[in-house]
Amino acid sequence: MSTEILKNKKILITGGAGFIGSNLIEKFVYQNNEIICLDNFITGKKENIIEFSDLPNFKLIEGDIRDIETCRNAVKGVDIVLHQAALGSVPRSVKDPITTNAINISGFLNVIQASVEANIKRFIYATSSSVYGDSKELPKVEEKTGKPLSPYAITKYVNELYADIFAKLYGIETIGLRYFNVFGKKQSPEGEYAAVFPKFIKLLINHESPVIFGDGKQTRDFCYIDNAVIANELAATTENKEAINQVFNIAFGETNNLNELTFQLISYLSEFDTEIAKIKPLYKDERPGDIKHSLASIEKAKKLLNYNPEFDVHNGLKKAIGWYYENLR
Protein backbone atom coordinates (compact mmCIF):
# COMPACT_ATOMS: atom_id res chain seq x y z
CA MET A 1 0.00 0.00 0.00
CA SER A 2 1.30 3.46 -0.91
CA THR A 3 1.98 5.62 2.11
CA GLU A 4 1.76 8.95 0.26
CA ILE A 5 -1.42 9.03 -1.76
CA LEU A 6 -2.99 12.24 -0.44
CA LYS A 7 -1.05 15.14 -2.01
CA ASN A 8 -1.51 18.66 -3.32
CA LYS A 9 -4.81 19.26 -1.50
CA LYS A 10 -6.10 21.89 0.88
CA ILE A 11 -7.35 19.96 3.90
CA LEU A 12 -9.32 21.13 6.93
CA ILE A 13 -8.69 18.99 9.99
CA THR A 14 -11.11 19.86 12.79
CA GLY A 15 -9.85 18.89 16.22
CA GLY A 16 -6.38 18.99 14.72
CA ALA A 17 -4.65 19.58 18.05
CA GLY A 18 -6.16 16.41 19.47
CA PHE A 19 -4.65 12.95 19.50
CA ILE A 20 -5.88 11.63 16.15
CA GLY A 21 -6.06 15.05 14.50
CA SER A 22 -2.44 15.93 15.23
CA ASN A 23 -1.28 12.58 13.86
CA LEU A 24 -3.24 13.30 10.69
CA ILE A 25 -1.55 16.70 10.40
CA GLU A 26 1.88 15.14 10.89
CA LYS A 27 1.21 12.72 8.05
CA PHE A 28 -0.37 15.08 5.53
CA VAL A 29 1.48 18.36 6.11
CA TYR A 30 4.69 16.72 4.88
CA GLN A 31 3.01 15.35 1.73
CA ASN A 32 2.76 18.73 0.02
CA ASN A 33 -0.76 19.45 1.29
CA GLU A 34 -2.00 22.73 2.72
CA ILE A 35 -3.40 22.07 6.19
CA ILE A 36 -5.94 24.12 8.11
CA CYS A 37 -6.26 23.09 11.77
CA LEU A 38 -9.41 24.16 13.63
CA ASP A 39 -9.38 23.58 17.38
CA ASN A 40 -10.74 25.23 20.53
CA PHE A 41 -8.24 23.46 22.83
CA ILE A 42 -10.86 22.09 25.22
CA THR A 43 -9.18 18.71 24.88
CA GLY A 44 -6.61 19.40 22.16
CA LYS A 45 -3.11 20.48 23.16
CA LYS A 46 -0.96 23.17 21.58
CA GLU A 47 2.14 21.04 22.16
CA ASN A 48 0.68 18.48 19.74
CA ILE A 49 0.94 20.94 16.85
CA ILE A 50 3.81 23.21 17.90
CA GLU A 51 6.19 21.47 15.46
CA PHE A 52 4.02 22.58 12.52
CA SER A 53 3.54 26.22 13.53
CA ASP A 54 6.34 27.64 11.35
CA LEU A 55 5.53 25.60 8.25
CA PRO A 56 4.24 27.72 5.34
CA ASN A 57 1.58 25.12 4.49
CA PHE A 58 0.08 24.99 7.99
CA LYS A 59 -2.52 27.36 9.43
CA LEU A 60 -4.16 27.27 12.87
CA ILE A 61 -7.63 28.66 13.45
CA GLU A 62 -8.36 28.77 17.15
CA GLY A 63 -12.13 28.51 17.22
CA ASP A 64 -15.16 26.44 18.15
CA ILE A 65 -17.25 24.29 15.82
CA ARG A 66 -20.32 25.37 17.79
CA ASP A 67 -19.99 28.72 15.96
CA ILE A 68 -21.21 28.42 12.36
CA GLU A 69 -19.26 31.49 11.16
CA THR A 70 -16.03 29.97 12.45
CA CYS A 71 -16.81 26.86 10.43
CA ARG A 72 -17.60 28.88 7.31
CA ASN A 73 -14.30 30.68 7.63
CA ALA A 74 -12.38 27.45 8.14
CA VAL A 75 -13.73 25.70 5.02
CA LYS A 76 -12.88 28.48 2.55
CA GLY A 77 -11.03 27.06 -0.44
CA VAL A 78 -10.78 23.61 1.14
CA ASP A 79 -10.81 20.41 -0.95
CA ILE A 80 -11.34 17.82 1.80
CA VAL A 81 -12.60 17.97 5.39
CA LEU A 82 -11.33 15.49 7.97
CA HIS A 83 -13.74 16.09 10.84
CA GLN A 84 -12.17 14.80 14.07
CA ALA A 85 -13.42 17.43 16.52
CA ALA A 86 -15.62 15.98 19.25
CA LEU A 87 -15.99 15.75 22.99
CA GLY A 88 -14.98 12.14 23.53
CA SER A 89 -15.52 9.72 26.40
CA VAL A 90 -18.56 7.72 27.44
CA PRO A 91 -18.23 8.62 31.16
CA ARG A 92 -17.95 12.34 30.39
CA SER A 93 -21.10 12.20 28.27
CA VAL A 94 -22.97 10.48 31.12
CA LYS A 95 -21.84 13.26 33.47
CA ASP A 96 -22.43 16.14 31.01
CA PRO A 97 -24.74 15.19 28.14
CA ILE A 98 -25.59 18.81 27.29
CA THR A 99 -22.04 19.80 26.32
CA THR A 100 -21.44 16.49 24.56
CA ASN A 101 -24.57 17.04 22.46
CA ALA A 102 -23.71 20.67 21.68
CA ILE A 103 -20.23 19.86 20.38
CA ASN A 104 -20.80 16.46 18.82
CA ILE A 105 -24.17 17.07 17.16
CA SER A 106 -24.64 20.83 16.73
CA GLY A 107 -20.93 21.26 16.01
CA PHE A 108 -20.97 18.42 13.49
CA LEU A 109 -23.99 19.95 11.78
CA ASN A 110 -22.22 23.32 11.55
CA VAL A 111 -19.13 21.78 9.93
CA ILE A 112 -20.99 19.69 7.37
CA GLN A 113 -23.40 22.55 6.55
CA ALA A 114 -20.47 24.92 6.01
CA SER A 115 -18.84 22.25 3.83
CA VAL A 116 -21.94 21.98 1.65
CA GLU A 117 -22.13 25.78 1.30
CA ALA A 118 -18.46 25.83 0.24
CA ASN A 119 -19.01 23.08 -2.35
CA ILE A 120 -16.48 20.79 -0.70
CA LYS A 121 -16.39 17.48 -2.52
CA ARG A 122 -15.57 15.06 0.28
CA PHE A 123 -16.27 15.03 4.00
CA ILE A 124 -14.57 12.34 6.12
CA TYR A 125 -15.72 12.17 9.72
CA ALA A 126 -14.89 10.28 12.89
CA THR A 127 -17.58 8.11 14.33
CA SER A 128 -17.21 5.42 16.98
CA SER A 129 -17.60 1.75 17.86
CA SER A 130 -19.88 2.97 20.65
CA VAL A 131 -22.75 3.12 18.11
CA TYR A 132 -23.00 -0.68 18.39
CA GLY A 133 -24.44 -0.18 21.87
CA ASP A 134 -26.20 -3.20 23.31
CA SER A 135 -25.69 -5.38 20.23
CA LYS A 136 -24.33 -8.75 21.33
CA GLU A 137 -23.25 -9.79 17.86
CA LEU A 138 -19.52 -10.37 17.33
CA PRO A 139 -17.73 -9.36 15.25
CA LYS A 140 -19.41 -5.98 14.80
CA VAL A 141 -20.70 -5.54 11.25
CA GLU A 142 -21.47 -2.01 10.04
CA GLU A 143 -25.09 -2.64 9.09
CA LYS A 144 -26.09 -4.19 12.43
CA THR A 145 -26.07 -1.80 15.38
CA GLY A 146 -27.89 -1.98 18.70
CA LYS A 147 -29.39 0.64 20.99
CA PRO A 148 -26.82 3.20 22.21
CA LEU A 149 -25.73 2.90 25.84
CA SER A 150 -24.55 6.48 26.42
CA PRO A 151 -25.17 10.07 25.29
CA TYR A 152 -21.79 9.94 23.50
CA ALA A 153 -22.90 6.91 21.49
CA ILE A 154 -26.13 8.70 20.55
CA THR A 155 -24.20 11.70 19.25
CA LYS A 156 -22.02 9.54 17.04
CA TYR A 157 -25.03 7.69 15.67
CA VAL A 158 -26.72 11.00 14.90
CA ASN A 159 -23.55 12.11 13.06
CA GLU A 160 -23.92 9.08 10.80
CA LEU A 161 -27.59 9.88 10.16
CA TYR A 162 -26.79 13.51 9.30
CA ALA A 163 -23.93 12.50 7.01
CA ASP A 164 -26.22 10.10 5.17
CA ILE A 165 -29.00 12.63 4.69
CA PHE A 166 -26.60 15.42 3.66
CA ALA A 167 -25.09 13.12 1.02
CA LYS A 168 -28.54 12.32 -0.33
CA LEU A 169 -29.95 15.85 -0.18
CA TYR A 170 -26.91 17.95 -1.13
CA GLY A 171 -24.57 15.60 -2.99
CA ILE A 172 -21.56 15.95 -0.69
CA GLU A 173 -19.45 12.77 -0.57
CA THR A 174 -19.31 11.49 3.01
CA ILE A 175 -17.39 8.62 4.58
CA GLY A 176 -17.64 7.78 8.28
CA LEU A 177 -14.84 5.98 10.09
CA ARG A 178 -15.99 4.04 13.15
CA TYR A 179 -12.84 4.06 15.26
CA PHE A 180 -12.25 1.19 17.68
CA ASN A 181 -10.08 2.17 20.68
CA VAL A 182 -7.34 4.07 18.85
CA PHE A 183 -4.03 4.42 20.72
CA GLY A 184 -0.53 5.77 20.12
CA LYS A 185 1.71 8.82 20.42
CA LYS A 186 0.25 12.20 21.41
CA GLN A 187 -2.53 10.52 23.37
CA SER A 188 -3.15 12.33 26.65
CA PRO A 189 -3.13 10.55 30.03
CA GLU A 190 -4.67 13.53 31.83
CA GLY A 191 -8.03 13.76 33.54
CA GLU A 192 -10.62 11.23 34.59
CA TYR A 193 -11.64 10.62 30.97
CA ALA A 194 -8.22 9.66 29.61
CA ALA A 195 -7.98 6.65 27.31
CA VAL A 196 -6.94 3.40 28.93
CA PHE A 197 -3.41 2.95 27.54
CA PRO A 198 -1.91 6.38 28.33
CA LYS A 199 -3.72 6.49 31.67
CA PHE A 200 -2.45 3.04 32.70
CA ILE A 201 1.05 3.79 31.44
CA LYS A 202 1.22 7.08 33.35
CA LEU A 203 0.17 5.33 36.57
CA LEU A 204 2.65 2.49 36.07
CA ILE A 205 5.51 4.90 35.38
CA ASN A 206 4.61 6.58 38.70
CA HIS A 207 4.59 3.15 40.41
CA GLU A 208 0.83 3.32 40.98
CA SER A 209 -1.72 0.59 40.29
CA PRO A 210 -3.99 1.05 37.25
CA VAL A 211 -7.72 0.63 37.94
CA ILE A 212 -9.71 -1.89 35.93
CA PHE A 213 -13.48 -1.42 36.04
CA GLY A 214 -15.11 -4.85 36.20
CA ASP A 215 -13.29 -8.19 36.15
CA GLY A 216 -10.85 -7.27 33.37
CA LYS A 217 -12.30 -9.91 31.08
CA GLN A 218 -13.95 -7.28 28.90
CA THR A 219 -12.47 -7.35 25.43
CA ARG A 220 -11.52 -4.59 23.02
CA ASP A 221 -10.35 -4.36 19.45
CA PHE A 222 -7.51 -1.84 19.75
CA CYS A 223 -6.40 0.16 16.72
CA TYR A 224 -2.91 1.64 16.50
CA ILE A 225 -2.90 5.27 15.34
CA ASP A 226 -1.04 4.57 12.09
CA ASN A 227 -3.91 2.30 11.01
CA ALA A 228 -6.41 5.12 11.63
CA VAL A 229 -4.28 7.64 9.70
CA ILE A 230 -4.06 5.35 6.68
CA ALA A 231 -7.83 4.82 6.84
CA ASN A 232 -8.37 8.57 6.60
CA GLU A 233 -6.00 8.79 3.66
CA LEU A 234 -7.76 5.96 1.84
CA ALA A 235 -11.18 7.48 2.54
CA ALA A 236 -10.04 10.88 1.29
CA THR A 237 -8.64 9.53 -1.97
CA THR A 238 -10.76 6.53 -2.91
CA GLU A 239 -12.32 6.59 -6.35
CA ASN A 240 -14.55 3.62 -5.58
CA LYS A 241 -18.10 4.94 -5.85
CA GLU A 242 -19.35 2.08 -3.67
CA ALA A 243 -17.34 3.50 -0.76
CA ILE A 244 -19.06 6.89 -0.84
CA ASN A 245 -21.75 7.65 1.75
CA GLN A 246 -20.75 4.62 3.80
CA VAL A 247 -19.43 3.99 7.30
CA PHE A 248 -16.51 1.67 7.97
CA ASN A 249 -15.11 -0.06 11.02
CA ILE A 250 -11.53 1.07 11.57
CA ALA A 251 -9.79 -1.44 13.79
CA PHE A 252 -7.37 -4.33 13.49
CA GLY A 253 -10.05 -7.02 13.64
CA GLU A 254 -8.64 -8.84 16.66
CA THR A 255 -9.83 -8.92 20.25
CA ASN A 256 -7.79 -8.69 23.47
CA ASN A 257 -8.96 -8.65 27.07
CA LEU A 258 -8.00 -5.90 29.46
CA ASN A 259 -6.23 -8.17 31.95
CA GLU A 260 -3.87 -9.51 29.28
CA LEU A 261 -3.12 -6.06 27.92
CA THR A 262 -2.48 -4.61 31.38
CA PHE A 263 0.11 -7.26 32.14
CA GLN A 264 1.64 -6.77 28.70
CA LEU A 265 2.02 -3.06 29.45
CA ILE A 266 3.69 -3.94 32.74
CA SER A 267 6.07 -6.26 30.89
CA TYR A 268 7.00 -3.68 28.23
CA LEU A 269 7.49 -0.87 30.74
CA SER A 270 9.59 -3.10 33.00
CA GLU A 271 12.27 -2.97 30.32
CA PHE A 272 12.66 0.74 31.18
CA ASP A 273 12.10 0.40 34.94
CA THR A 274 12.31 -3.02 36.66
CA GLU A 275 10.23 -1.80 39.64
CA ILE A 276 7.14 -1.67 37.41
CA ALA A 277 7.13 -5.49 37.22
CA LYS A 278 5.95 -5.62 40.85
CA ILE A 279 2.79 -3.56 40.28
CA LYS A 280 -0.65 -5.21 40.24
CA PRO A 281 -3.89 -3.66 38.94
CA LEU A 282 -6.82 -2.73 41.20
CA TYR A 283 -10.38 -3.81 40.35
CA LYS A 284 -13.51 -1.69 40.82
CA ASP A 285 -17.19 -1.97 39.82
CA GLU A 286 -18.13 -1.70 36.16
CA ARG A 287 -18.98 1.78 34.87
CA PRO A 288 -22.43 2.55 33.44
CA GLY A 289 -22.51 2.80 29.65
CA ASP A 290 -19.37 0.75 29.08
CA ILE A 291 -19.52 -1.98 26.44
CA LYS A 292 -18.48 -5.46 27.61
CA HIS A 293 -17.04 -6.84 24.38
CA SER A 294 -15.89 -5.21 21.18
CA LEU A 295 -14.55 -6.85 18.03
CA ALA A 296 -14.77 -5.34 14.57
CA SER A 297 -15.28 -6.94 11.22
CA ILE A 298 -13.05 -4.96 8.85
CA GLU A 299 -14.09 -6.86 5.73
CA LYS A 300 -16.12 -3.95 4.34
CA ALA A 301 -13.19 -1.53 4.70
CA LYS A 302 -10.84 -4.08 3.14
CA LYS A 303 -13.14 -4.57 0.18
CA LEU A 304 -14.22 -0.99 -0.54
CA LEU A 305 -11.31 1.11 0.79
CA ASN A 306 -8.43 -1.34 0.36
CA TYR A 307 -7.82 -0.96 4.09
CA ASN A 308 -5.26 -3.48 5.35
CA PRO A 309 -4.05 -2.44 8.81
CA GLU A 310 -0.37 -3.03 9.41
CA PHE A 311 -0.20 -2.89 13.21
CA ASP A 312 -1.92 -5.23 15.67
CA VAL A 313 -2.13 -4.11 19.31
CA HIS A 314 1.17 -5.81 20.23
CA ASN A 315 3.20 -4.29 17.39
CA GLY A 316 1.51 -0.94 17.98
CA LEU A 317 2.42 -0.97 21.66
CA LYS A 318 6.00 -1.93 20.84
CA LYS A 319 6.22 1.02 18.46
CA ALA A 320 4.54 3.46 20.87
CA ILE A 321 5.91 2.38 24.23
CA GLY A 322 9.11 4.43 23.95
CA TRP A 323 7.12 7.58 23.16
CA TYR A 324 4.75 6.91 26.05
CA TYR A 325 7.62 6.36 28.47
CA GLU A 326 9.55 9.45 27.43
CA ASN A 327 6.56 11.78 27.31
CA LEU A 328 4.46 10.59 30.23
CA ARG A 329 7.15 10.62 32.90
Q: What is the pLDDT of residues 11-44, one digit of tens each?
A: 999 999 999 999 999 999 999 999 999 999 999 9
Element (H, E) at 320: helix 313-328
Q: Give dist(CA 145, CA 2) in Å, integer.
A: 32
Rg (CA), the chain: 19
Model confidence, pTM = 0.94
Q: What is the C-alpha separation between 92 and 211, in angstroms, rounded? A: 17
The maximal CA–CA distance of the chain, rounded, in angstroms, is 59
Task: Say what the pLDDT of residue 287 is.
Answer: 82
Q: Residue 185 gets which letter from DSSP? A: T
Q: Is 188 left (phi over 0), alpha (psi -120 to 50) or beta?
A: beta
- φ/ψ region of 138 (left if φ > 0, alpha if ψ in -120 to 50, else beta) reads beta
The pLDDT of residue 184 is: 95
Catalytic residue, from 30, 125, 132, 152: name it: 152
> Is 157 an annotated catalytic residue?
no
In whole angstroms, what is the distance from residue 311 CA to residue 181 CA?
13
The pLDDT of residue 294 is: 84
Ordered by where they begin, the domains of the chain are 10-184+222-253+296-311 (3.40.50.720)
Which stretches of the chain drop beneath a pLDDT of 70?
1-3, 191-194
Between the alpha carbon of residue 168 and those of residues 79, 160, 161, 244, 327, the distances in Å are 19, 12, 11, 11, 45
